[in-house]
Amino acid sequence: MPFLLLVLMICRTAAADTLLVLGDSLSAGYRMPAASAWPALLDKQWEKRQTRVINGSISGDTAAQGLARLPALLAEHKPRWVVIELGGNDGLRGFPPAGIASALNQVIGDIKAANAQPILMQIRLPANYGRRYNESFSAIYATLATSNNVPLLPFFMEEVYLKPEWMQDDGIHPNASAQPFIADWMARHLNPLVNHDS
């Protein structure tokens, strides 16, 4: 019996030290090996602190598609934290902001229901999508973060865009050279939030 309790405690500890990234192509490592994407690099950085980073991102995913995949990811990995990097594909396709907000709100709710901490990332669209739509889209994230009392991360692409050498030829996705910067940037912003003592 004591041995069984020890095994259960070890399993619980391992589960508590997992961060899941639920995202789209910006986190999936579009047109590059998965091992080169920033979540894999962050996972290596955090080996010493025994925090595992699982990349549950799929290129092209909308907020609704991420929501549909979420229950299986939560059941499999039992994360303690989940970074939500979704909505960009919805915005690029001009989906109504209310629908995007509804899907993301459900993502947050499902994560909380699984006793994990949601961490929402702000997403922004290119200026050519028009001021009215851009403002409505951008406002989704701050509103959801406030109403659900969850942390809101800045959009890492706003710094990546400043360096053309970090961008793929489509002008949308970061290339492999940008991934170490993004991993460091994410580590810096996540360190205060991924707290094992809380």
Active-site positions? 25, 170, 173
Type of residue numbered 166: W
User: Could you count the other beta carbons within 10 Å of the beta carbon of residue 3?
Assistant: 7
Type of residue numbered 103: A
Beta bridge partners of residue 152, listed in sequence order:
120
Which of 98, 141, 95, 111 shows the shortest CA–CA distance to 19? 111
